[in-house]
Structure 1
Amino acid sequence: MKNHKKLIIGISITLSLMVLCFLGIRIDNTDNKKTFFDSTKVYAQTTDDVDEKLNTIMDELEELKKSNPIIAMSSSPYAIVEEITSYDELVNMGIEAVKPMYDILYKRPDAGLYEYILAMAIEEITNQEYIYDVDYGWSNALEFRLCYERKVNNSSDEFEYLMNSNKISNENKKQKITELGVFVVSDLLDELDKETSIFSKEEIETLLQQIIQTVPATHKLHSVETIEEWRVDNEQIYRDLKKLNKTEY
C-alpha cells in the first residue's frame, strides 16, 4: 500500500523540513526514556513495548543521519523506514499495538516525521487505505486521524447497508465485507451473536477468519481454535479499533 502513495512536490518539501527538524531533536536517551502513552490505561504491556520501539526508532534515525545522510534527509518517510529495522518490529507487534499508537497520535498536537511514521505503522497493520485527498492520500498525521475516523464510520455504515440490501447477492456481500477489513470484525461478531442472520454461523466465522489473517496479530484465529476461544483475548482489541476516535482525554 505504501508503494501506491503519490506525494506531490509541496508535500515533499514539507516532509523534508520535518526530517531536518526531527533529526535535530531526539528523545532523551538516559534512563528516563519518554513515555508517550499513559501506562495506567489498558494495554499496559503493549504500550511499554511500543514506547521501547519508538525510542529505538529515534536511536536508529540518529545513526542513519551519520551513516547515510542522503537517505536521512530524504523527503520521503517511506525511504527512511526502509533503513530502520525497528519500524518493521513496530509493525510486527500487530493489531493489539494500534490502540496505543493511535492514542499517542491523538494526544500529540504535532504533525512531524515522528507522527508520520506512527501513522504509517497503523496504516500498514490495519491493511487499509486512508484517503484524505485523491491525489496523494494523506500528507501528515492530522490528516491521517481524520481519514481514520472517516474509515471507521464509513466501514460500519457500509456493513449495515450490505446486510440490509436486497439488490446485492450474498456472495457479493461476503466479498465486499471481506474488503472492509478489520473495522467490521466487531460488526461480524455482533452478527454472530444474533439468533437470525442472512449468513450462517459458519459463513460468518469464515469471514472473520479471512479478515483476521490479513493483518499482523499475536493471536490470530487458527483452524484449531474455536471462535469463542479466540474471542476471550481478542474481541476487545477489535472493538477498540472503532472506539479510538471517541476516547476522552
Structure 2
Amino acid sequence: MNKWSIATLAILAGVKAFSLGWNPFAAASADKRLEEKLAALYEKNDMSVSSNPYDATKNNPDFESIVGLGIDALPGLHDKLAVSPDNGLHAYMLAIAIETIAKVNLKRAEATRWATAKEFEAVWTEHLRSVPASVEAIASDLALEPEQRRSKLVDLGIPALPFLMDHVESGEEPFFSAVVELTKHTAFEASPETDPKEWAARHKARLSDLKQYVLSR
C-alpha cells in the first residue's frame, strides 16, 4: 500500500470518527482548557488562606468556567484530585467541581459522607464503580413506583446516563424522565417532549467517553 493510500485511509477514518460524534482531539483539548481554567482559579484563591471552600466557589467566574466544561472535565478533575498532595482549599474546590458537574450530593447519605477532598476522592471512585450495577438493580426492582425509580436514578447523577441508554431506547418512561432531569443545562439536554429513542441515538456516541471514564475506575 503506497503512502497516498495510507493517507487516504487515515482521512476517511477521521471523517468516520467525527461522523459518529467522537473527536480524537477532544480529550487533549479538554485537558488543556481545564489546566488554563484551574491556573486562573488557583491564582485568585490563595491556598494558604483559611476559608470556606463553598464561599470561595460561590459566584466565582473562574470556578463557573470549570463547571462549564461539563462532563469532558470529569476525568481530568478526578485525576488531579487523585494525585494531588494537597488536601486543602484547592483540592476541595476540585471535589466541589466534580459534584457540581456530575449532579450528585454524596454528603447526603451517611455511607458516602465526606469532609475532606481526599475522603471525597475515595467515595467518588466507589460511587462510579457502583453506578452500572445500581442502574440495573433499580431497573429490576419491581417494587418501585415510577417516581421512586426516577428519583433513585437521578441520585446516581450524570455518570448513570450512558447506562440508561438501553432502557431509554426501549421506551421505558421512568428512565427517560430521569434523563430529562439529569441533562438540564447540559450540551445534551432533553425535554419531556423529546423523542426518547431519537435522543438516545443522537447522544449515545457523545456519552461513550463518559461511559469509559466510569468503567475505568
Q: Do both proteins adopt the same fold according to a TM-score greater than 0.5, normalized to the shorter chain?
A: yes
What's the CA shift for 1:191? Answer: 3.3
Task: State yes or no: 1:212 paired with 2:183.
Answer: yes
Aligned length in residues:
190
- Give the alignment partner of residue 98 of structure 2, picking from 122, 136, 144: 122
Task: State yes or no: 1:191 paired with 2:167.
Answer: yes
Distance 1:206 1:139 in 2: 32
Match of 2:214 in 1: 242
- Which is worse superposed, 134-143 or 123-132? 134-143
Distance 1:135 1:177 in 2: 17
Distance 2:172 2:112 in 1: 40
TM-score, normalised by the number of residues in structure 2: 0.71
Distance 2:200 2:30 in 1: 23
Distance 1:202 1:163 in 2: 11
Task: State yes or no: 1:230 paired with 2:203.
Answer: yes
Is the CA contact 1:163–1:173 (under 8 Å) kept in the aligned structure 2?
Answer: yes
Match of 2:122 in 1: 146
Match of 2:7 in 1: none
Task: State yes or no: 1:53 paired with 2:22.
Answer: no
Is the CA contact 1:209–1:221 (under 8 Å) kept in the aligned structure 2?
Answer: yes
Query: Could you say what secondary structure the match of 1:158 adopts?
Result: helix
Return the structure number with greater helix share: 2
Task: State yes or no: 1:44 paired with 2:15.
Answer: no
Is the CA contact 2:37–2:65 (under 8 Å) kept in the aligned structure 1?
Answer: yes
**Percent identity for Structure 1 against Structure 2:** 21
Distance 1:241 1:84 in 2: 27
Distance 1:42 1:184 in 2: 21
Distance 1:94 1:227 in 2: 19
What's the CA shift for 1:112? Answer: 2.7
Distance 1:139 1:206 in 2: 32
What's the CA shift for 1:50? Answer: 0.4
CA change 1:161–1:201 in 2 (3 A) is: closer
TM-score, normalised by the number of residues in structure 1: 0.63
- Give the alignment partner of residue 178 of structure 1, picking from 154, 172, 177: 154
The structure whose RCO (Cα within 8 Å, separation 6+) is larger is 1
Is the CA contact 1:128–1:181 (under 8 Å) kept in the aligned structure 2?
Answer: yes
What's the CA shift for 1:240? Answer: 3.4
Structure 1 gap ranges (5+): 1-39, 66-71
Listed one character per residue, the Cα deviations across residues 149-173 of structure 1 (whole Å, up to 9, x for unaligned) are: 2322344333222222232234532
Is the CA contact 2:51–2:89 (under 8 Å) kept in the aligned structure 1?
Answer: no
Distance 1:218 1:127 in 2: 14
CA change 1:73–1:236 in 2 (3 A) is: same
Q: Which residue identity lines up with residue 243 of structure 1 in the other structure?
A: L
Match of 2:139 in 1: 163
What's the CA shift for 1:204? Answer: 4.0
Is the CA contact 2:37–2:62 (under 8 Å) kept in the aligned structure 1?
Answer: yes
**RMSD, aligned α-carbons:** 3.3
